[in-house]
Amino acid sequence: MAEGPLRFGWLSDIHLDFLDHEEREAFFHRLKERSLEAWLLSGDISQARSLATCLADFVRIVERPLYFVLGNHDYYHGSIAGVRREIRDLCQTLPLLVYLNEAEPLLFGEKTAIVGVDGWGDARLGNPMTSPVFLNDFRLIEDLQELSRRERVQVLRRLGSEAGARLKEQLEACPASVDELLVVLHVPPFKGASWHEGAISNADWLPWFSCQAAGDVLLAFAAERPACRLTVLCGHTHSSGVYSPRPNLVVFTAAAEYGCPRPQAVLQAVPERGFLPVLDGPPKS
């Protein structure tokens, strides 16, 4: 356990496949100029074919640790297991890269920790059986291709349950001394955090824009550990907002625009108050 950085830049849904090589390098150089100690990234980095290159270029240029989870787009034109295997191998060769989904909790001193899981829109909230929304995920991720609606809903629920179970493992692996916990997810864990175009997602979008399994785990942990403050960072819906279902649990959802990646906020651990956005301000709801 080492004393580590407590000022983190937060990125989400940067979709680097929408930038050409020069634009990508310029973006990384702008991040480097922020002189933060580390970056958090809540998924949708690129697509499977270019993901490893984007991650390697990030740490080569920014020269800071990158603690990340993957989003649904990161699996496009690949399989979930295949992409995770490739990224696991990459992280072994580049120590600045930490894929939170497969890492132990990162501890910074005795009181502060970071955990993270990818999460999936787990087809539990809203109307999964009647929604007319058909995501590109269902064409471009091998695990979700060519399924009936009923099969797809089953797979998504299984993926959500796996994410919830993994998150529970990570939370329970945090020492009891931890009272500031940063949780990085891709998919919003609650209906109230599932902002879409400036409002809460409707019943047609909610099945794909919320991970109820992760939300249930967070609520249970927050109730069990009222002295531990949980700050959740997520993205996926590209519309920002703040939602706090309990006094010790707050969820920030990131705004995003294809082709215009930018930092969401800088978060700093403030004793007794949790991780607060200190420079760029909280996402606007």
What residues make contact with Fe ion under the rule CB under 5 A?
13, 44
- 188: tokens are 């919003």
Pick 13 or 179: Cβ nearer Fe ion: 13
Pick 112 or 210: Cβ nearer Fe ion: 210
Q: Are 50 and 17 in contact (CB under 8 A)?
A: yes
Which residues, 6 or more positions from 74, have their beta carbon under 8 angstroms from its beta carbon?
Answer: 43, 44, 45, 46, 47, 48, 51, 83
Question: How far apart are CB 15 and Fe ion at their closest, in Å?
Answer: 6
- 92: tokens are 């072994």
Question: How far apart are CB 72 and Fe ion at their closest, in Å?
Answer: 7
Question: How far apart are CB 234 and Fe ion at their closest, in Å?
Answer: 11
Pick 187 or 200: Cβ nearer Fe ion: 187
Of 43, 47, 49, 46, the C-alpha closest to 99 is: 43
Q: Are 96 and 90 in contact (CB under 8 A)?
A: no
Question: How far apart are CB 228 and Fe ion at their closest, in Å?
Answer: 29
Burial 263-272 (b: 16+ CB within 10 A, else e): bbbbbbbeee
Question: How far apart are CB 280 and Fe ion at their closest, in Å?
Answer: 19
- CA of 206: how far to CAs of 2, 84, 113, 164, 203, in Å? 40, 26, 29, 17, 5
Pick 17 or 44: Cβ nearer Fe ion: 44
Pick 44 or 180: Cβ nearer Fe ion: 44
